Amino acid sequence: MDLKEVKELIELVSEKGFAEFEIEHEGFRLHISRSKEPPVIQAAPTPVILSAPLPVATEAVAPAAPPPVPAPPSAKAAPAVADAALHVIKSPIVGTFYRASSPQVKPFVNVGDRVEADQVVCIIEAMKLMNEIQAEVGGVIVEIYAQNGQAVEYGEPLFGIAT
């Protein structure tokens, strides 16, 4: 093999994305290996921008509006107290949360649906594998914490079930 053929092989291996390549031809052996470790990328520190103090107006200024009155507690605050009575299904793995088996079908469960123990309530995709997540207890779905297509972490709440 001459230098030109070796260069062509190196370019071909690089172009095809091979991690390793080995060839033996007429007593000549060539082994090409690419680094398997991903490059380390470091982000530059974020600059801190300090602003100068704003000038104080010396003219008469209209009185400021009264501070806003806090809004009455929303309906969302009430379930927070009731969350203690809920059974929470948590993500058993890291992955992508899906409420249905495909975009064209209806979700496995919706808020207000009754579920039985071991009923499939969602799918979590991890490493191109679709993992069915089942309800551990029977009850009524009262809260869906994760959004469809959202990445979820291990132990992250997915559903709240009133038993």
Domains and CATH numbers, the chain: 3-33 (no CATH), 82-162 (2.40.50.100)
- Three-state DSSP state, 5: helix
What pLDDT sits at residue 43? 61
Q: How confident is the model at residue 44 (pLDDT cuts 50, 70, 90)?
A: low
Residue 97 has pLDDT above 70, yes or no: yes
What pLDDT sits at residue 85? 80
Q: Could you give the dihedral angle defined by the CA atoms of residues 136, 142, 147 and 150, in that order, rounded to the nearest 10 degrees?
A: -20
What pLDDT sits at residue 10? 78
DSSP string, 82-128: HGGGEEEEE-SSSEEEESSSSTTS--S--TT-EE-TT-EEEEEEETT
Average pLDDT, the chain: 78
What pLDDT sits at residue 48? 60
Report CA 112 to chain centroid distance, whole Å. Answer: 26
C-alpha closest to that of 145 among 101, 105, 86, 102: 86
What pLDDT sits at residue 35? 62
Q: The tokens of 108 are what?
A: 């496995």
Rounded distance between C-alpha atoms, residue 131 and residue 124, angstroms: 5
